[in-house]
Amino acid sequence: MDGLSVVIVGGGSGLGALLAEMVVEAGATGLGIIDINEAAAEAALAAARGRGLPAVAARGDISSGPDAHAAFARMVAGLGRVDVLINCAAIYPRRPILEITDAEWDLENAINIKGTYHMMVAAVRHMQAQEPKGKVRGRIVNLTSVDAFKAHPQNAHYAATKAAVVSLTRSFAAHVAGDGILVNSVAPAGMATERARELGFLGELAKASPLGRGAEPREIAEWVLMTAGPKNSFMTGEQVIVSGGLI
């Protein structure tokens, strides 16, 4: 990530917070975090501030276009430019397929689809206007899920939103390719997080995976950094599926 200024949406916890640490370790020159929990976003900037890097946090309800664009404007004001946007924000409430309510559909769509869309629009408009670094003006990486590529009757509304983000990724990539902006997604398998342990999902992850375990968060984060970093100068509109052989 040498020489790149990075914004992570949903970077206050989970994989986003790990990525905040790792982009700093990998040489990012600035870090911004947008999260519904501004205190968590501030805490996740500790590594960047410890190295004296530009670091900015913003609370953002990304389901609202004006809020999402305002939060991104704070990133630009604090960092000067944004070279990389990583969209990690999502919600994952389980519900059997015949029991999903309108309210649950609306919330899933608002955060996972609309929120991702709003952040990509804000980033693209900014990136289109900035000078490129090498051949690339900017990179966007969306976190999707292996659930976008398989049946998931226990969480069909979540899986549907992640399939929608795959489609958005392709459409944005085609639209901005001529601007030198690369747009890709990374689709992780279920991760062996502390939250998964609390909810008792580890046995389910192990049973589903050909490797016999869930992914460690850092194993997923490494692929996000590869896709978002300067070693990627040509791949766009692609889905990097890190499923441990599941897909």
Cα(105)–Cα(114) distance, integer angstroms: 12
Please give the pLDDT value at position 175.
98
The angle, 0 to 180 degrees and rounded to 10, between the axes of the packed helices 65-79 and 116-128 is 40
Domain chopping of the chain, boundaries? 5-242
Mean residue pLDDT of the chain comes to: 95
Please give the pLDDT value at position 200.
79
Q: 165 near 113, Cβ under 8 Å?
A: yes
Q: 92 near 144, Cβ under 8 Å?
A: no
92 is catalytic: no
Catalytic residue among 72, 158, 172, 201: 158
Each of the 247 residues of the chain gets a pLDDT tens digit; together they read 999 999 999 999 999 999 999 999 999 999 999 999 999 999 999 999 999 999 999 999 999 999 999 999 999 999 999 999 999 999 988 899 999 999 999 999 999 999 999 999 999 999 999 999 999 999 999 999 999 999 999 999 999 999 999 999 999 999 999 999 999 999 999 888 877 787 777 888 888 899 999 899 999 999 999 999 999 999 999 999 999 999 9
Summarised one tens digit per residue, pLDDT across range 184-232 is: 999 999 888 877 787 777 888 888 899 999 899 999 999 999 999 999 9
Pick one of 3.40.50.300, 3.40.50.720, 3.10.20.740, 3.40.640.10 as the CATH number of 5-242.
3.40.50.720
Q: Which residues pair with 8 in a beta bridge?
A: 33, 86
Please tell me the pTM assigned to this model: 0.96
Cα(18)–Cα(10) distance, integer angstroms: 11
Sign of CA dihedral 49, 77, 28, 236: positive
